[in-house]
Amino acid sequence: MTPASILVVEDEGIVAQEIKSRLEKNGYAVCGVAHDGETAIAHAAALQPDLILMDIRLKGEMDGIEAAGRIRDRFSIPVVYLTAYTDAATLERAKVMEPFGYVVKPFETRSLLVSIEIALHRHRSESERIYREKLQAVLETAGAICHELNQPMMAISGHTELLLDTIDPNDPLFPKLAKIKTQVERMGAITQKLMGITRYETRNYGKGERIVDLEKSSTTLG
């Protein structure tokens, strides 16, 4: 299994290297280290880590909370805050950005690892839920479209069948009409499956994309 890649954002170089060392000893891949907000955003765009450990207090005009907000708006990457500050004002600002965790310095390695695993699991669960909701909406729309297509397809199939009954089988048009009828019937079978899907399965399509597996989905109907 490929280890989760983590971007460490910490303005203290020694602390950043210590965090990096702890993570790598426990099987994570640290894809980069940033010491300020702008670099953190650039690394997030270029490296697309699975998770970001973000120190709240960073040097420069942009602190970790603002950087996390910009990353949230542009990328779907979970952020876990690292901070030595637990005052109410800081916590309120941090909560607005909906972080996936909050680790208070100084921290034990075990508590850091637990926060990371919980954040990764939560992000995977939320991503899957959003994917399923979007796919369900697409399937419902496809079902409605298929319902509208059924009547014209039935008309085409019916008229084609009438033509096949009236012309000589040796007529050059006969095999073409027969092919039209076969293809329309095939389209009808596909639309019937789409309209009937209430539960579905997906399969990998390539480059990380998944599509609905019509054959498997059609067998799950109850």
> Is the pLDDT at 127 greater than 70, yes or no?
yes
Residue 112: inside a domain: no
Same domain, residue pair 92 and 138: no
Same domain, residue pair 182 and 100: no
Same domain, residue pair 85 and 159: no
Residue 162: inside a domain: yes
Same domain, residue pair 166 and 211: yes
Same domain, residue pair 84 and 144: no
Same domain, residue pair 87 and 14: yes
Residue 119: inside a domain: no
User: Final residue of a domain: which of 107, 142, 161?
Assistant: 107
User: Final residue of a domain: which of 49, 75, 107?
Assistant: 107
% of the chain exceeding 70 in pLDDT: 86
Residue 118: inside a domain: no
Q: How far apart are the first and last CA of the chain?
A: 35
> Is the pLDDT at 221 greater than 50, yes or no?
no
Tokens of 179: 């092919």
Same domain, residue pair 97 and 152: no
Q: How many residues does the chain have?
A: 222
Same domain, residue pair 24 and 93: yes
Of residues 102 and 20, more confidence is placed in 20
Same domain, residue pair 99 and 45: yes
Residue 213: inside a domain: yes
Question: What total of structural domains would you count in the chain?
Answer: 2
d(CA 55, CA 194): 48
pLDDT digits (tens, 9 = 90+) for 25-61: 999 999 999 999 999 999 999 999 999 999 988 888 8
Same domain, residue pair 86 and 137: no
Q: What is residue 55's predicted lDDT score, i.e. its pLDDT?
A: 92
β-pair partners for 101: 80
pLDDT digits (tens, 9 = 90+) for 56-96: 888 888 989 999 999 988 998 999 998 876 677 777 777 77
Residue 117: inside a domain: no
Q: What is residue 79's predicted lDDT score, i.e. its pLDDT?
A: 93
Range of the domain at 190: 128-218
Please answer whether residues 67 and 109 qualify as being in contact, where contact means their C-beta atoms are separated by less than 8 angstroms: no
Residue 160: inside a domain: yes
d(CA 82, CA 174): 74
- Region 7-28: mean pLDDT is 93
Confidence of residue 220 (pLDDT cuts 50, 70, 90): very low
- Answering whether pTM is above 0.85, one says no
DSSP the chain: -PPPEEEEE-SSHHHHHHHHHHHHHTT-EEEEEESSHHHHHHHHHHH--SEEEEESS-SSS--HHHHHHHHHHH----EEEEES---HHHHHHHHHT--SEEEESS--HHHHHHHHHHHHHHHHHHHHHHHHHHHHHHHHHHHHHHHHHHHHHHHHHHHHHHHHHHS-TTSTHHHHHHHHHHHHHHHHHHHHHHHH-SS--EEEEETTEEEE-HHHHHTT--
> Is the pLDDT at 172 greater than 50, yes or no?
yes
